[in-house]
């Protein structure tokens, strides 16, 4: 697959993850960065607790 195809797949994955974070009531999605490279998603940022909601 070419780089453009990989970019489109990665951007779609990122968009889906960001949408899921926005929909989550117990997560402040603006504090979490989402990056996807070669279908690997990396989340970074700060949360109040590691405990599940």
Beta bridge partners of 35: 42
pLDDT tens digits, 17-27: 999 999 988 88
**Strands (E) located in 1-53:** 32-37, 40-45
**pLDDT at position 43:** 95
Q: In the chain, where are the structural domains located?
A: 2-45
Evaluate whether 36 touches 21 at the Cβ level (below 8 Å): no
Report the distance separating Cα 48 and Cα 46, nearest Å: 7
Neighbour tally for 38: CB within 10 Å: 7
Tokens representing 36 are 């996807």
Q: pLDDT, tens digit, for every residue of 14-51?
A: 999 999 999 988 888 888 999 999 999 999 998 777 76
Residue found under tokens 């453009």: 4
Which has the higher per-residue pLDDT, 12 or 27?
12
């Amino acid at each position: 697959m070419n780089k453009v195809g990989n970019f489109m797949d990665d951007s779609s994955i990122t968009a889906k993850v960001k949408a899921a974070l926005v929909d989550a009531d117990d997560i402040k999605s603006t504090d979490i960065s989402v990056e996807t490279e070669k279908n690997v998603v990396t989340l970074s940022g700060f949360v109040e607790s590691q405990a599940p909601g």
